[in-house]
């Protein structure tokens, strides 16, 4: 059993990551860090979530900066500076970096100085020796001998990469891709970006997204990609729209593409990280929020248009997929599965 600690444990991603880790028998959550401290963390965890309802987190304060979390004692630190968190005290081997403050230039590796052997950043990150891993897409890229600094990628990158990986495994070659995401508001959508127009209840903001380019980090064959994000004033639940030119040695149509996706969904080849929704009418509130897959393909929105045959052989198609995702619940589930995968590979 691997001992795990979570930094940024009071934030929404930190809280949901903790919840998912608690449900994996091979993982023991032994320490949490957040500047709010133990008593505020208890209050936070016991509240019914405004979006997701009852989470199944039950916390009780006990002496010496500890809490009972779902019946198990957990040490609580309240350091603002991650370099001061004494992970070695509790034997933490893997740190979940969920604060959002340590994503640039290898900053999250600071946890490795205090006893941890691996750090997994809950967001896109940068820096030397970084590997970005999405379960069901490129987990085989993880090398326990050289990778101790890992990124869990972004929710949108997961929503793109997961169905694309599936189709590429079926022999579809993707030659160029454009995407857009209709994305729920996040902490990054603040007034410094757009003045008085940001994050208001009656406004949609078009902005850049790094998800398309980040997808090439986990799938290097996908280079010709770009896109944008439309941030909308909702709390959670997002959709990614993929438009791509594909080359395939055979006939493709909407039914064939959907059958490829459904077949792989049933086979569970992708660690359960891809889902389907077959209804005609779909909404984020009814059909997406609460689901934890990386990508929920809306099969009624799949479109396939034949193009001119390739001079190099095969047929060209323009394909449109719509991928829904709960941007709060999906990534923490993926991070917990990634943690278990890494622990198994490292024999922690």
Residues recognised as catalytic:
155
CA distance 297 to 167: 12
Alpha helices (runs of H) in 220-253, residue ranges in sequence order? none
CB contact at 8 A, 75 and 90: yes
* Tokens 């993929």, located at residue: 242
CA distance 205 to 197: 8
* Tokens 């007034």, located at residue: 191
CA distance 95 to 198: 33
- Residue 213 three-state SS: helix
DSSP 58-120: -EEEETTTEEEETTEEEEEE--SSGGG--GGGGT--EEEE-SSS--STTGGGGGGGGT-SEEE
CB contact at 8 A, 151 and 123: yes
CA distance 274 to 258: 13
φ, ψ (nearest 5 deg) of residue 93: -105, -35
CA distance 240 to 81: 35
Alpha-carbon distance values, 206 to 83, 146, 151, 185, 322 (Å): 37, 39, 26, 12, 19
CA distance 49 to 197: 27
The residues, ordered by sequence, that sit 6+ positions from 314 with a Cβ below 8 Å of its Cβ are 173, 247, 248, 249
CA distance 94 to 91: 9
């Amino acid at each position: 059993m691997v001992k795990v600690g979570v930094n940024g444990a009071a934030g929404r991603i930190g809280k949901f990551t903790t919840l998912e880790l608690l449900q994996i028998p091979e993982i023991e959550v032994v320490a949490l860090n957040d500047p709010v401290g133990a008593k505020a963390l208890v209050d936070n965890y016991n509240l019914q979530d405004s979006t997701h309802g009852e989470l199944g987190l039950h916390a009780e304060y006990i002496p010496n900066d500890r809490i009972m979390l779902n019946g198990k004692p957990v040490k609580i630190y309240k350091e603002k500076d991650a370099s001061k968190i004494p992970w070695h005290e509790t034997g933490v081997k893997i740190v979940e970096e969920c604060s959002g403050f340590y994503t640039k230039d290898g900053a999250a590796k600071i946890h490795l100085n205090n006893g941890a052997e691996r750090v997994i950043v809950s967001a896109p990150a940068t820096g030397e020796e970084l590997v970005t891993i999405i379960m069901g897409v490129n987990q085989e890229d993880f090398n326990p001998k050289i990778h101790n600094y890992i990124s869990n990628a972004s929710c949108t990158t997961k929503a793109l990469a997961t169905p694309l990986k599936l189709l590429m495994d079926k022999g579809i070659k993707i030659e160029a891709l454009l995407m857009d995401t209709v994305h729920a508001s996040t902490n990054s959508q603040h007034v410094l970006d757009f003045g008085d127009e940001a994050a208001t209840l009656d406004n949609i903001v078009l902005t850049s997204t790094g998800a398309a380019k980040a997808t090439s980090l986990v799938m290097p064959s996908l280079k010709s990609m770009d896109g944008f994000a439309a941030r909308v004033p909702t709390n959670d639940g997002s959709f990614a729209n993929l438009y791509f030119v594909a080359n395939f040695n055979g006939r493709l149509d909407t039914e064939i593409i959907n059958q490829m996706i459904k077949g792989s969904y049933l086979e569970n080849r992708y660690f359960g990280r891809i889902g389907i929704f077959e209804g005609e009418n779909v909404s984020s509130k009814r059909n997406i929020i609460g689901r934890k897959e990386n990508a929920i393909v809306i099969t009624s929105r799949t479109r396939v248009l034949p193009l001119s045959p390739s001079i190099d052989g095969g047929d060209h198609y323009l394909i449109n997929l719509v991928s829904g995702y709960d941007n709060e619940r999906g990534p923490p589930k993926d991070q917990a599965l990634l943690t278990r995968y890494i622990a198994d590979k490292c024999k922690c």
